[in-house]
Amino acid sequence: MSTPGRHCPLHYRTDPAALAGRTDVVAETVYVIGGMYGNTAALDAVLRLAAAEEEQGRPAPTLVFNGDFNWFNVDDQTFDRINTEVLRHVALQGNVEAELGSPDGEAGCGCAYPEWVDDATVARSNAIMQRLQGAATRAPGHAEAVSRLPRQIVADVGGVRTGIIHGDPESLAGWGLAVENMPAPGETPAVIADWFRRAQVDVFACSHTCLPFIQRFPVDGRARMVINNGSAGMPNFRGDRRGVVTRIGSTPCPEENRLYGAELNGVFCDAMAVPWASEAWDAWFRRTWPSGSPAAASYADRLQHGPMHGFRDAWRIDSGDVPA
């Protein structure tokens, strides 16, 4: 008997081979926006970043929200704002959206938390999910649209094929591409090589695990890349409240927001900062999730101070410049 929030439902399974031979998006620039977690200030900041590229004469980025764009947005107004905007763009389900679309009491929050996450945290996530499901019930149009979203797609940028997924290539809530599970730079475990071969992609852009990193994996004599954006809507580094999105572009990432990145076959794969922090959003969070509430207990410290993670933990490339 498994505990809600701990296990990975069978219907979360995805098949990397389903990515082979398909191309869903062709663009000069793609933003992969994972884990916005219902943060409207982060959503506004991402839209500003995209608009700024156009104002600078760069190609308009295609926005791909790869899941967990809902989480803290349990009030009706914010639930509507997030889903109305995201559904105008390319969007994928994360485990949060999978539970909104087809609530599964056994899955809880659907996070499939690994053993290093404590039971109290899992219970609080399940409580957040219940409130969010209430908002979804009151907005059946959004809930229905979210239930029809795909779970993985392929984007082609300058001939580089990126498999955009939420967790890992075999599960919507998989932790197989978590930084905690990565080998030393330069090594390619058989399972990761197999995922690249089956999916026939050059890059996997993922999210879900909330800690960003970039790492190269040589497979069959070719460089491949995994880039996990951590979270667009929560801080990703200690002492730094900015969100992170993955930018894949045939033009370089604007320097002012570039955190780190690497080139792959002439295409730029970068972590891009999302400067979202605002008094107004902090006040909204305190009203919606007051002290003692499940989200305040689990996330208030991270939202103010960031996780124990630094650029040196995220930068897992075996050569090139180490970010400051």
Residues near Fe ion (CB under 5 A) are 68, 94-95, 208
Output phi, psi for 41, to 5 deg.
Answer: -65, -40
Closest CA to 208 of 12, 15, 43: 12
Min separation Cβ 59 and Fe ion, Å: 29
3-state SS assignment for residue 154: strand
Q: What is the DSSP string of 219-240?
A: ETTEEEEEEE---SSS--BTTB
| 97 touches 143 (CB < 8 A) | no
Using the minimum distance from each CB to Fe ion, give the nearer residue, 29 or 93: 93
The two structure tokens encoding residue 286: 């305190």
Using the minimum distance from each CB to Fe ion, give the nearer residue, 9 or 249: 9
Min separation Cβ 166 and Fe ion, Å: 6
Using the minimum distance from each CB to Fe ion, give the nearer residue, 177 or 192: 177
Using the minimum distance from each CB to Fe ion, give the nearer residue, 151 or 208: 208
Min separation Cβ 98 and Fe ion, Å: 9
Using the minimum distance from each CB to Fe ion, give the nearer residue, 12 or 237: 12
Min separation Cβ 198 and Fe ion, Å: 22
Residue nearest to Fe ion (CB): 208
Q: What is the largest CA-CA distance in the chain?
A: 56
Closest CA to 201 of 69, 16, 50: 16
| DSSP classification of residue 253 | P
Min separation Cβ 100 and Fe ion, Å: 12
| 67 touches 97 (CB < 8 A) | yes
